[in-house]
Amino acid sequence: MTELAPHALEALIVDWGDVPTVTDIKVVRRRSRDFFWYSPILNEQLSGKSAEVLVIPRDEVDVVRVAAACARHRVPLTVRAGGTGNYGQAVPLAGGVLLDITELSAIEWVKPGVIRVGVGAKMNAIDAELQASGWELRMHPSTKRTATIGGFVAGGSGGIGSVNYGGLREPGNILAARVVTMEETPRIIELRGDAAQKVNRAYGTTGIITALEMPLAPAWRWIDVVVVFDSFMEAVEFGYEVALADGIVKKLLSPVTWPLPSYFGALKTYCPDGKSILIAMIAEPSLESFKNLLGSRGEITLETATDDSPGQVPLYEYTWNHTTLQVLKADRSVTYLQCLYPHDRLLQKVDDMRQMFPDEVLQHLEFIRFNGHVTCSGLPVVRFTDAARLNEIIRRHEESEVSIANPHVYTVEDGSRYKRVDADQLGFKHEIDPYGLLNPGKMRSFVGRSR
Ligand code: FAD
């Protein structure tokens, strides 16, 4: 960590003027963390890392002042939003400034099917605001109640709704992003259409996003459903049928193998011992068709309107990476993986992986669309022994044509399936962050000018 000398820190703060600033190092250290502790490997690598000062811009003008000061003083800056990332995305590796972006949360406008919003807005606040207009975000992570729209675009991939629209990477799922550059005289750039992908999942290394234009979906009255099956493969097969049934309007289809539901707290009542489950969110008018398709293959144990208002625990908080969290609450010895199954051999490959690691890799799938095909993302809970064994499990998945987006590494490249950063993102970083000050260490391929 590059430590700023006290006078250098003081000069930096003087330079950005009256932007609200926190220097209490206990607070700064606490805010420099995210959910990297899900990974025993990242937990070892990242637990001591921290920024040296926290700054909380009130608006975009403040963001520009902070970016300019950091560029002039050659001080690293890491953006933090909800702090719910899983790979230490918001953990500063080289000290410097932590920029809390959450005050930029105003909705600029809503038009039919589109919203323009400040990046710091929480996704549940956005959907609550949209409800009266009959629209909602196309997708959100299972951390919807704490995560921001900007953090989702800069650090996330997809979630509830991806069964219909795919992930954020699919064309049309991010319409535009407004970005502040990291230069002595920062520019404000509007990235529209494909160009907005330059900031998607780049962990804040390619600019400070201040506003986003996101496409919307019709807001249905969603019904949370739990269906119980004798075997995991029956839950997967039924989930697949629903995913392919275009007339049944759904937002979430998550098969979960026993014994994972035994860790499900309040939901446990609806999960009989020894049974695997399918968690689903179905539009109310489609519920009858959903039940007809199910027939007598499984038993519905829960059927209730989705409620994610304060104090409630919606069913989606048992899915995506919340499934892992539910288990971690009781057993800190487990961890997880992120898999992508080939769409043309989906059921076979799921069964192969289940048989390859029957007790060590406990299956949990999420139906998604990927490049226009229905397939599954897997977020299995893994009984952790050591790094070597985890890498062996990853290797055997990849040998079996199940791709892994490794959640036990902190760089953009190492986590991605392509093992290299997208050329556009790297080129754009050279353009807007010549000194490599934005979240340094997270984009491995980048070699900046000397500071
Ligand atoms: P942060 O964690 O604060 O930031 C994430 C990254 O984005 C960091 O690199 C940060 O520097 C950068 N960043 C944030 N805001 C900006 C900005 N304005 N400009 C530039 N860079 C910025 N992810 C999914 O995709 N789908 C899921 O279903 C999902 N489920 C999860 C469940 C649990 C229990 C947990 C702990 C995590 C889960 N995640 C999931 C990961 C994470 O919650 C989401 O990606 C979330 O959207 C991150 O938003 P955040 O506001 O917390 O961002």
* pLDDT tens digits, one per residue of 337-351: 999 999 999 999 999
Q: Given this model, what pLDDT does residue 420 score?
A: 57
Judge residue 138's burial from the number of C-beta atoms within 10 Å of its C-beta, 0-12 exposed, 13-18 middle, 19 or more buried.
buried
Q: Coil, helix or strand for 391?
A: helix
Position 81 scores a pLDDT of 98
Q: How far apart are CA 250 and CA 33, in angstroms?
A: 34
Helix then strand then coil, % of the chain, to nearest 5? 35, 25, 40
- Cα of 208 vs centre of ligand 1, distance in Å, is 14
Which ligand 1 atom sits closest to the C-alpha of 179?
19
Q: Could you count the other beta carbons within 10 Å of the beta carbon of residue 299?
A: 13
* Index of the ligand 1 atom closest to the CA of residue 80: 3
> Which tokens go with 139?
């997708």
pLDDT of residue 19: 98
Which pLDDT score is estimated for 428?
93
Q: What is the pTM of this model?
A: 0.97
Query: 363 forms bridges with which residues in the sheet?
Result: none
Q: 401 is written with which tokens? A: 């044509």
The Cα 121–Cα 147 span in angstroms is: 8
Among 252, 321, 327, 425, the mutation site with the greatest number of ligand 1 atoms within 8 A of its Cβ is 321
Going by alpha carbons, the residue nearest to atom 43 of ligand 1 is 84
Where are the domain boundaries for CATH 3.30.465.10 in the chain? 107-218
pLDDT in tens, 301-318: 999 999 998 888 999 999
d(Cα 72, Cα 413) in Å, to the nearest integer?
28
Residue 84: which of 135, 115, 139, 38 has the closest Cα?
A: 38
Report the amino acid identity of residue 196. A
pLDDT at residue 444 in the model: 87
CATH code for the part of the protein at 107-218: 3.30.465.10
Cα(297) to centroid(ligand 1), Å:
37
In 230-371, the DSSP E strands lie at 250-256, 276-283, 299-305, 334-336, 339-340, 361-362, 365-370
How many angstroms separate the CA atoms of 342 and 348, rounded?
10
Kindly state if the Cβ of 86 falls inside 6 Å of ligand 1.
Answer: yes
User: What is the pLDDT tens value at each position of the chain, 451 positions in all?
Assistant: 557 888 999 999 999 999 999 999 999 999 999 999 989 999 999 999 999 999 999 999 999 999 999 999 999 999 999 999 999 999 999 999 999 999 999 999 999 999 999 999 999 999 999 999 999 999 999 999 999 999 999 999 999 999 999 999 999 999 999 999 999 999 999 999 999 999 999 999 999 999 999 999 999 999 999 999 999 999 999 999 999 999 999 999 999 999 999 999 999 999 999 999 999 999 999 999 999 999 999 999 999 999 998 888 999 999 999 999 999 999 999 999 999 999 999 999 999 999 999 999 999 999 999 999 999 999 999 999 999 999 999 999 999 999 999 999 999 988 876 555 665 888 999 999 999 999 999 998 887 665 5
Among 39, 79, 334, which residue has the most ligand 1 atoms within 8 Å of its CB, making it the best to mutate? 79
Distance from Cα 370 to the centre of ligand 1, integer Å: 20
At residue 397, the pLDDT reads 97
CATH class of 222-404: alpha beta
Task: Give residue 311's pLDDT.
Answer: 87
Whether 158 is in the pocket of ligand 1, judged by its Cβ within 6 Å, is: yes
Distance in angstroms (rounded) separating the CA atoms of residues 188 and 184: 13
Nearest CA to ligand 1 atom 42: 85
HSE-CB for 260 with a 13 A CA cutoff: 37
* Nearest-angstrom CA–CA distance, 269 and 330: 17
Ramachandran class of 305: left when φ > 0, alpha when ψ lies in -120 to 50, beta otherwise: beta
| Burial classification of residue 253, based on how many CB atoms lie within 10 Å of its CB (0-12 exposed, 13-18 middle, 19 or more buried) | buried
Q: Cα Rg for the chain, rounded, in angstroms?
A: 22
Nearest to 51 by CA among 85, 14, 88, 102: 88
Q: In angstroms, rounded to a whole number, what is the distance separating the alpha carbons of residues 284 and 201?
A: 33
Q: State how far the Cα of 81 lies from the Cα of 121, in Å rounded to an integer.
A: 9
Report the alpha-carbon distance of residue 288 to residue 225 in Å, rounded: 12
